[in-house]
Amino acid sequence: MENGGQANRGQAERGQAERGESKLSQAEAFARIRLLRSPRIGPVSYHQLLARFGNAAAALEALPELGSRGKQRYAPAPIGKIESEIEAVRAAGAQYLFHDSPDYPALLREISSAPPIVTCRGRLELAHTPSAAIVGARNASAAAIRLAREFAAGLAQAGFTVVSGLARGIDGAAHEGAMPATIGVIASGIDIAYPSQHAELQEQIANEGLLIAEQPPGVEPRGPHFPSRNRIIAGIASGTVVVEAAPRSGSLITARLAAEAGREVMAIPGSPLDTRSQGCNQLIRDGAVLVGAAEDAIELLETFTGEPRSTYRVAEEVSDFDYADLEEVDPREGAEAIAQLLSTAPIAIDELIRQSGASAASVHMALLEMELAGEIERHDGGAVGLT
């Protein structure tokens, strides 16, 4: 979890969702989409702005002043751009899913960097079934592809939904093996098929399973979109199975993100002579659970209590503050002092709080102001650094 405040916010949102109190007016839904599409607004800044101003409409009004540190006047996303996006979502047969909607995947909501808004097509009920992610190499061996398909089929038969990223190789085999009990998370807009050879598979998932995209319609996948997609894959599932992966592959990023979220991390061992197995062997060496058949993963996930048996862990540096404290903070208080402590090297926000002596809420608001001005960027593990 990102911090105590975020945990409290998540609990409140889940309670609200369970009571069916999360219906949005059209105006507020529009304002939320516009807020998230505004320059330099990410999941953390989005939630901080909602906490500070109460709703997206009020946050949008405050953005120009908050972003006034920048060299250029800050302007939210144009209204016409959002209107065009909404029309494109409708034309694609998709719908928006907001972070506090009852239909939003409950496990995904728990991770610190959960996307505030996604678009989706298909059976939303799949987002609330027990799920497991299966990921692996794009240039996978024939044996690994067959194994991924068998693993996925076994998990689906046991009542699990299989989550993957629609990439070539292991991802595609996992979707095919689990169909229709599968969720595809893509790095492009909901209306873009990538890779092109999976266009039919993507459409089948949208019709029979569930297709989820974080990027707006019309957006082609780019490099930074894939780690973002991977965090959604890891966040939706109770555990992640890595079938075949080279060192420093995207599959290992997904495993690391699953570990950060406190989920099970599993890997299938392979020959040390095959570079495509080195990533899995490394995961097992570092504490991931070795699995050789779908039954191994099923047993692990069926008895998952929130305390993973895998010891593979990547601790996330987080700061403990209550989002409600933001309401009392002057966003300019201490901003210059915080800026003096920063460099291009990422530093944990907890460390900034310790060294500055300022309150957690003051530091977070100062960072928000600098982020809107384009002076800092956020890194994995809750760290920040100068751009």
Q: Across residues 131-135, what is the average pLDDT?
A: 98
**CB neighbours of residue 180 within 10 Å:** 16
Which CATH architecture is the domain 323-386 placed in?
A: Orthogonal Bundle (1.10)
| Residues 379, 63 contacting (CB under 8 angstroms) | no
Q: Across residues 224-237, what is the average pLDDT?
A: 96
Q: The tokens of 5 are what?
A: 């405040």
Which CATH architecture is the domain 124-302 placed in?
A: 3-Layer(aba) Sandwich (3.40)
**CB neighbours of residue 345 within 10 Å:** 9
Question: β-strand 117-122 against 95-98: which pairing, if any?
Answer: antiparallel
Indicate if the pLDDT at residue 224 is higher than 80.
yes
> Would you state the pLDDT for residue 200?
98
pLDDT tens digits, 85-95: 999 999 999 99
Q: Which among 9, 67, 69 has a CA at the least distance from the CA of 38? A: 67
Residues paired with residue 384 on neighbouring β-strands, in sequence order: 347, 378
N- to C-terminal Cα separation, the chain: 25
Average pLDDT of the residues of the chain: 88
| Residues 338, 375 contacting (CB under 8 angstroms) | no
Q: Which among 143, 132, 103 has a CA at the least distance from the CA of 301? A: 132
- pTM score > 0.85 for this model? yes
pLDDT tens digits, 281-293: 999 999 999 999 9
pLDDT tens digits, 204-215: 999 999 999 999
SS3 content of the chain, % helix, strand, coil (to 5): 50, 15, 35
Element (H, E) at 378: strand 376-379
Between CA 243 and CA 251 the distance in angstroms is 9
